[in-house]
Amino acid sequence: MEIYFLGTNAGIPTVQRNVTSVVLRLLEERRSFWMFDCGEGTQHQILRSPLRLGKLEKLFITHLHGDHLFGLPGLLSSRGYQGGTAPLSVYGPPGLKAYLEISLSVSQSRIPYKLEVVEHEGGLLFEDEHFKVESALLEHRIDSYGYRVTEKDRPGSLNIELLKGYGLKPGPLYGVLKSGRDVTTEQGITIAAADVLSEPKRGRIVTVLGDTRPCGNSIPLAREADLLIHEATFAHELAKMAREYHHSTTVQAAEIAKEANARQLILTHFSSRYSSPEELGPLLDEARAIFPDTQLAEEFRLFPVERSRGN
């Protein structure tokens, strides 16, 4: 599980940075990746990355401002031309379906795969045996949503040496024990799963917050997250401007991470006024003064989602 940024700028692209798009790589877990937002030019960014559109499984739109979805029609069309045949689900606020229907029909774009568009107003959006995705409304000029991706706990590891001592060879009974159920061997020996199975591996949590002022729903979405991605459009000296434009500052993002007891914070969605690493450096310093485990998003850089210690 890794985070990969395709765009980190707010509002408009610059020479240095593209507009918003975040990827959650799940190549080991699902052999796919999920995307959060798809600003204009995202498919060009993908061409410069190791990603392949055919592996895109789910796409989540935080809100319907152009810098977060103008790249979507082109990306959906290109996915078909690039051999993408697997189904794709796109989630977002009401209005997303109409936007896509008009864009794709007027341009006569051909989508040769099953495209599911799910409009939502928060709540549980997806769940299977491995993951669940929840969403809640944030506070922006239009409806904007945050997303919380929870990886479910995985069974612990079997003590192979101990099982050999019982005379049990690899086979179907290993799977039964792995599921937490006791087994009885052909020799009549009962093996308790608890005796041969280590503690479950705690699932990881990734939270992606769309454009927002600090608000009540940010905390439960980010609670105990292993990785929180939060917008930091402005340095804190521009807190008044941030509030007027319904955005957050570096300090506010760090305060959310601290109150939610997140483990790591990555700041993104930077105003184009911060065009160089030297100008971004003070933003990082501001956040780290409150929440030390903070990093700045960088395009085309992988950020591993680490498990908690002991898991």
State yes or no: 211 annotated in a binding site.
yes
Q: Name the helix (H) or strand (E) containing 231.
A: strand 227-231
Whether 293 is catalytic = no
Cβ 35 vs Cβ 295: under 8 Å: no
The two three-digit tokens of residue 40, written as one number: 């204009």
State yes or no: 63 annotated in a binding site.
yes
Describe the strand order of the beta sheet including 265-268 as a list of residue ranges.
123-127, 131-137, 145-151, 205-208, 227-231, 265-268, 294-296
What span, in angstroms and rounded, lies between the C-alpha atoms of 200 and 240? 46
State yes or no: 293 annotated in a binding site.
no
State yes or no: 236 annotated in a binding site.
no
List, as one string, the DSSP characters of 272-285. Answer: TT--SHHHHHHHHH
Coil, helix or strand at residue 176? helix
List, as one string, the DSSP characters of 58-87. Answer: EEE-----HHHHTTHHHHHHHHHHTT--S-
State yes or no: 140 annotated in a binding site.
yes
Which residue among the candidates 37, 67, 143, 226 is catalytic per the annotation? 67
Task: Identify residue 42 by its one-letter amino acid code.
Answer: T
The residues assigned a catalytic role are 67
Binding-site sequence positions for Zn(2+): 63, 65, 67-68, 140, 211, 269
